[in-house]
Structure 1
Amino acid sequence: MPDTYATLRSVLTSAFRVPEEEIRPELTLAQLDLDSLALTELVLILHERLGVKIDAEHASRGTTLARIVEHLDALRAGTTVGTGDAGAAVGPHGTGGAGPADRASATGGAVTAAHS
């Protein structure tokens, strides 16, 4: 298993041209001048390299590199809260079911209610 911090450093230096000497665990992504587009790209690259995907909550501009590494390590170890069954679908409301917007897209845009 590759070292998470080393992988993050490598991504920051190669993909985002952050000088290696400027990368420190206590720095936030904002302090490294990563904007929202860069954060999206960072999440995708880390997913490709490490096989786990972090959500926006754990990759915001205010997140330190140490917190990102901690979260990635927990995901890789399968120890995060709410990981559950990898094959289970989770809707936008934290349940296994789809929310109204998901049902609307699945029915061609119409949300229908059952009438008795």
Structure 2
Amino acid sequence: MDSVYDHLLAVLDEKFDVPGEDVRPEATLSRLGFDSISTVELFETLTAHYPGITLDETGEIAGQSIAELVQAVEAQLPAVAAREA
């Protein structure tokens, strides 16, 4: 399985035209040009790729960093795998 970070980089580049060289772990979604609609679209793309995870689309998502988003996904993967076993 690809790493969550690598998958996120690919999605940002291919679907949202955010070049990989612009993406740093500390970069926030808003700094990368995401608004609430594109953030929801990104979250839907990630939850489709990683079935069973949930991402909070409320609150201060624009200030969420790439590292925080990756951690949120990675933290849920063991529980999802356990439910599927």
Tell me if TM exceeds 0.5.
yes
SS of equivalent to 1:70: helix
Higher helix share: 2
1:1-116 pair list within 5 angstroms: 1-51=1-51, 52-57=53-58, 60-78=61-79
SS of equivalent to 2:61: coil
- Flag structure 1 segments of 5+ consecutive residues without an equivalent: 80-85, 87-116
- Structure 2: distance between partners of 1:58 and 1:8: 21
TM superposition score normalised by structure 1: 0.63
Q: Pick the structure with greater CA Rg.
A: 1
- Flag structure 2 segments of 5+ consecutive residues without an equivalent: none
Give runs of ≥4 in structure 1 deviating > 6 Å. none
TM superposition score normalised by structure 2: 0.84
Supply the RMSD in Å over aligned alpha carbons.
Answer: 2.0
Shift of 1:71: 0.8
